Amino acid sequence: MKKIVWTFGLIAGGIMSVMMLLTLPFHNQIGFSAAGYIVGYTSMVLAFLMVYFGVRTYRDNAAGGRVTFGRAFLVGLWITLIGSLCYVVTWELIYFFVTPDFMDKYAAFELAKARAAGASAQELAAKATQLAQFARMYRNPLFNAAMTLIEPLPVGLVFTLVSAGIVSRKQPVAGSAA
């Protein structure tokens, strides 16, 4: 199980990390709009397809053609965790060493969006204070990692649940070794 989990988890993490690195030079064009979310979550969906392939590989090659939902879920969960941790490590390196001004740009975007929506001066000041407080917390690597982990983890968990449901079998397929 370990080899399968690590192989597919690292592939999933590699896909997300490479996509993050490939889109980094285009950050000013993509920005914080819906396009950024579409690009980011599309790469996560593609990466977490590895959960399905990993669970299926486990069932077919390591479990003799049958696997319970619980075991399939566990395999998928480990793949998801490894992939998500790769994503977090990549973001931590990018944030602290490549784009330390990320939160300043994000705060400017959020304030401009609030201003365009007609926020009052008092509301803008409150928003600026809130964003400054979040930026201070985000400089803490542990807080930053936790916030980053909640981006891919729910996507991976959905793939884990669906994959475990699709792939789990209590009986081997006729003709396979049991």
Q: What is the pLDDT of residues 26-69, one digit of tens each?
A: 777 777 777 788 888 999 999 999 999 999 999 999 988 899 99
Q: How many domains does the chain have?
A: 1
Residue 172 within a domain: no
The span from the CA of 24 to the CA of 31, in Å, is: 10
Please, are residues 56 and 76 in contact by the beta-carbon 8 Å criterion?
no
Residue 53 within a domain: yes
pTM, two decimal places: 0.86
Residue 176 within a domain: no
Residues 6+ apart with CB under 8 A from 58: 1, 4, 5, 67, 72, 75
Please, are residues 124 and 115 in contact by the beta-carbon 8 Å criterion?
yes
- DSSP code per residue over 94-127: IIIII-TTHHHHHHHHHHHHHHHTT--HHHHHHH
Residue 178 within a domain: no
